[in-house]
Structure 1
Amino acid sequence: MIDEETARDQVVSTADRLFYAHGVQAVGMDAVRTEAGVSLKRIYALFPSKDDLVLAVLRHRAEQWDTGVARALAAARTPRDRMLAVFDFLAEWFRQDDFRGCAFINFFGELAGGSSRVAEAVREQKTSFQRHVADLVREAGGPGYLAPQLALLAEGAQTTAAITGDPATAAHARAAAETLIGAACPAT
């Protein structure tokens, strides 16, 4: 028998893959059980409801997002490059074979009307990202109004790339971000 942490990780990673590929409502707990190799009884001991599992998947996705953005930021050399790093991360992500857009946006569209907990988790992640972009703009000496503009570009790029299937969307959003940064921070 696998330990609790391993079972939890298996269930979350399986649910993440299935929910992201097919949608939360289209995937039953039996499918998660079968794919994860963890009994339904054990799954419900770990996650008393499907909402609890969805929230665990969103926490997992937030960790992946934060790690990916941090990796892109680590490669950036200048404050200007740090503001653009999120678009470099998006460019890499959009080229992945399993890219289906932002899980937070997808889950919000599918579940927010019926789950205030999911809606709140999505809002938290989006607010956290906006704060992060605001910190990058502030570190670069940019004006406050630039941060929401850059965040909107990143969010819009995710949605557009998911709908069109065009990974070049990240490059277009990056070019727009460069224009905004150049206008707002000519000295950077």
Structure 2
Amino acid sequence: MDSIVATNPILRMHVVDVAERLYNARGFQAVSMDELRAEAGVSLKKLYALFPSKDAIIVAVLETRHAEWVEGVTDAVAAAADPRAKMLAVYDWLSTWFCEDDFRGCAFINAFAELGGMSPALADIAREHKLDFQTYVATLVRAADGPDYLAPQLAILAEGAQTTAAIAGTPEAADQARAAASVLIDAALAA
């Protein structure tokens, strides 16, 4: 029976969805395995059959968040008309995300802040996510024939907007970052 539970992708995804909602609302450390078990409606035995540790659940949540992030950003960029607009579409997507009722900031920044010092594996996942985003922004800059130095500048603006929006509780940081990105892009492309 336990092997059936461990390989049940629907139950596994249900637990990840519940964990993501709880962690987003309250933080990673504040949610106990017992609370997660109760909210997900599974026994502790089933929960541990699906995930051997809380870190394993957090990893699954972050993997889900990464996939959602990649899909959201790439869809927004794909809808933009030209290379300059594609770079700015990142900030347009951030603006939409920041307006969601459950926006509490970047899960990777939050996980790193809460657990990065105690869990090198989680710190590595956060670093990989951020590196993946920086690499993606670099591809957008190259497609616009922009200089290499522009990509990290644009990525930092996006990262800062996420943190600012989460702390301030308002979405304006995306528009401010977009305006700054526009100035940087125009200056870099004109040079």
Q: State the TM-score, normalized to the length of structure 1.
A: 0.96
Distance 2:74 2:133 in 1: 12
Residue 57 of structure 1: SS of its match in structure 2?
Answer: helix
Please report how far the alpha carbon of residue 33 of structure 1 lies from its aligned counterpart in structure 2 after TM superposition. 1.0
Distance 2:190 2:35 in 1: 53
Partner of 2:141: 137
1:74 paired with 2:78, answer yes
Counting only pairs closer than 5 Å after superposition, residues 107-186 of structure 1 correspond to structure 2 as 107-186=111-190
C-alpha deviations, 1:5-60, integer Å up to 9, x for none? 11100000100110111011100011111111122111111110100110000000
C-alpha deviations, 1:91-111, integer Å up to 9, x for none? 000001111111100010000
Could you list the runs of 5+ residues in structure 2 that have no partner in the other structure? Answer: none
Partner of 2:97: 93
Q: Which amino acid aligns with 2:11?
A: A
Residue 185 of structure 1: SS of its match in structure 2?
Answer: helix
C-alpha deviations, 1:106-131, integer Å up to 9, x for none? 01000011101100000000000000
Distance 1:114 1:45 in 2: 24
Residue 190 of structure 2: SS of its match in structure 1?
Answer: coil
Distance 2:92 2:42 in 1: 37
Distance 2:74 2:178 in 1: 17
CA RMSD of superposed structures (Å): 1.4
Could you list the runs of 5+ residues in structure 1 that have no partner in the other structure? Answer: none
Partner of 1:35: 39
Distance 2:41 2:190 in 1: 56
Q: Which amino acid aligns with 1:134?
A: A
1:51 paired with 2:37, answer no
The 4+ residue runs of structure 1 with deviation greater than 6 A are: none
C-alpha deviations, 1:142-166, integer Å up to 9, x for none? 0000000000000000000011112
Distance 2:21 2:90 in 1: 23
Distance 2:88 2:66 in 1: 20
Q: Which amino acid aligns with 2:161?
A: A
Q: Which amino acid aligns with 2:48?
A: Y
Distance 2:57 2:91 in 1: 29
Q: Which amino acid aligns with 2:35?
A: A
